[in-house]
Amino acid sequence: MRDVAVIGIGMNKWGEVWEKSISDLIAESALLALDDAGLDKVDAMYIGCMSSGLFTDQEHLGSIGPDYAGICPTPGTRVESACASGGAAIRSGFLHVASGASDIVMVVGVEKMTDVDGAKATFALATAADQEYEVFHGVTFPGLYAMMANHHMNKYCTTRDQLAQVAVKNHKNGKLNPLAQFQMDVTLDQVKNAVMVSDPLTILDCSPITDGAAAVILCPADKAKSISKKRVVKVKGSGHASDTIQLAQRKDLSYLKSTEIAAKKALEMAGRKIGDINFAEVHDCFTIAEIMVVEALGAVEVGKGGPATMDGVTAVDGKFPVNASGGLKSKGHPVGATGVAQIVELVKQIRGTAEKGRQVKNANIGLAQNMGGSGASSVVHILEGE
């Protein structure tokens, strides 16, 4: 396999984007990435998207992508793995280049979620859970993650303040990110006293409904310097794993085995240990998710994710900075785009170009973790600067 590098990134402002279609979002991020790379064409395109048919009535994104980006007849392929669609698309593009099948591959992640009402959005997102044994009985994703949170709190004495601190930290970071959906601070009391969604999770423990897209361009590492004048950022490791789609079938409700396995695979490929990682972007779809992810990655001891968050370990200036972008909680969560946006953020940090003072010091090796559903699928990538 060939070494692979990222030579272009692009991301639009996320939020409730009423004036643009899903096709517009794809095109905008794709053109930004092409401009960043100094290119006007690519050899292939992957589009990560969870549920464009239910959100916008538009399928066939493998054609929409090249068409609206103005790069036909480039072949396009849609990739779906629920909320891990973006990460899975990055992995597909990475393997495409690494295999030698093509030299220049673009990966776009996208979701347009606000064209439907809340009930329809809930229905669309619920397709990532087990329809027969979870959704049929009325369980939603806030409900599933609330079960995980309660289990973690009972097993490890994780506190409500520790959960809320995840939101406080990530909103503090997102306030400095001009592309984030919610650029505002929140306090512990605001998080805890917000509208209850599923006990113990309030609305400020939950990631929002978001419109947005992000794009990345990959090429063989030995050609990167001849194409781009920017710092070369290599994809050193990629790992992918699954778990039971039903939360009830897992051995431990508050442990993400798929993340553990995907991270081990990515770290092994990269020839690294978790202690070598300078910073991470992880899937904080709910505040409890970030706590469980940092434990599954091995960044902190299992059961200690809550205290580590409260003690500042995962702050931008902490020992293991997590979600300097604001994460899903503040930056937003257009489900198919999240995994690609994480790679955009890793590249920004490694290049040293993160905006407005949220730059992580000595950011040379970054990790991105993107997962689908309640952790039924997980993708982890390791990026490193030269």
pLDDT at 92: 98
Q: Which listed residue (96, 151, 283, 333) is catalytic? A: 333
CATH topology of domain 4-117+209-233: Peroxisomal Thiolase; Chain A, domain 1 (3.40.47)
SS3 state of residue 156: helix
Q: Where in the chain is the domain with CATH 3.40.47.10?
A: 4-117+209-233, 128-207+236-385
Structure tokens at 377: 């699928």
Per the listing, tokens 């909103």 go with 171
Q: What is the mean pLDDT of residues 152-165?
A: 98
Separation CA 116–CA 118 (nearest Å)? 7
- The residues pairing with 385 across neighbouring beta strands, listed in sequence order, are 233
Q: What is the DSSP letter of 304?
A: -
Would you call 214 helix, strand, or coil by DSSP?
strand
User: pLDDT band for position 356 (50/70/90)?
Assistant: confident
* Residue from 83, 206, 219, 285 carrying the catalytic annotation: 83
Q: How confident is the model at residue 355 (pLDDT cuts 50, 70, 90)?
A: confident
Determine the Cα–Cα distance for residues 348 and 216; give it in Å rounded to an integer: 12
**Using an 8 Å Cβ cutoff, are 9 and 344 in contact?**
yes
Closest by CA to 274, choosing from 367, 343, 384, is 367
- C-alpha torsion sign, points 133, 137, 143, 148: negative
- Is residue 219 part of the annotated active site? The answer reads no
> Would you give the DSSP letter of residue 60?
-
- Tell me the one-letter amino acid at 176: L
Q: Is 60 a catalytic residue?
A: no
Q: How far apart are the first and last CA of the chain?
A: 19
pLDDT tens readout for residues 105-125: 999 999 999 999 999 999 999
Instruction: Answer whether CATH 3.40.47.10 is correct for domain 128-207+236-385.
Output: yes
* Kind plus residue range of the DSSP H or E element containing 196: strand 196-198
pLDDT (tens digit per residue) in 195-247: 999 999 999 999 999 999 999 999 999 999 999 989 999 999 999 999 999 99
pLDDT at 230: 93
Place of tokens 């990532």: 128
Q: Has residue 3 got a pLDDT over 80? A: yes
Q: Which helix (H) or strand (E) holds 98?
A: helix 85-99
